[in-house]
Amino acid sequence: MLDSRLRPLIDPPLNGLGRALARAGVTANGLTLAAFALGVLAVPALALQWWGTALALIAANRLLDGLDGAVARATRPTDAGGYLDIVCDFVFYAVVPVGFALADPSANALPAAVLIASFVGTGSTFLAHAILAERHGLSSAAQGRKSLFYMSGLMEGSETVAFFVAFCLWPAWFPVLAWTMAGLCAVSALGRVLLTLRTFGTP
């Protein structure tokens, strides 16, 4: 929901830094993999309840994830790079709740599981729509130049990051926040289903 509004603010500095990194020989895929590694390292930090360290790793993941696209735009975006980026993003989103479940299984395991299930809903509706959009030759620049069609929704990257930050700042509130986020993801997924059916015809 907020991604398209934030892009005009964050893209100019990211693109400038991306061009500098590209000139230095840094590759987009290298940044994607580095971002993923840092994001996965947040899981043991969360499990050990090192909330500040986990928050720093999550922030680093998101920064590098923004920079990989900027470097790609400064060089030559590829389908393989776009594929690697989205796969790493979705896996990263799913492993963060696992860290909280490990930190306090009795309180966090169920809301973490439901949250991950809700991510399956948002991710599958997003990717399935992108497949149909490609088949029908549709495109969108609302999220900037991307390697696949980005369908907007109630829960996007900006909202996900905001919840992840809240998880780390107020870990005792993880169950409430996770249930809230899962509910919003369910609404977002349902909205995408309805919009897709309206766009491409009912079954």
**Domain-by-domain residue ranges, the chain?**
3-200
Contact 66, 75 (CB under 8 A): no
Over residues 137-158, the pLDDT tens digits come to 766 555 445 455 455 667 777 8
Contact 164, 100 (CB under 8 A): no
Over residues 2-61, the pLDDT tens digits come to 555 656 666 677 777 888 888 888 899 999 999 999 999 999 999 999 999 999 999 999
Tell me which CATH code domain 3-200 carries.
1.20.120.1760
CA torsion through residues 28, 12, 96, 189, sign: negative
pTM for this structure?
Answer: 0.84
H helices of the chain, in order, are: 3-23, 28-47, 51-74, 79-103, 105-135, 157-169, 174-200
pLDDT of residue 144: 47
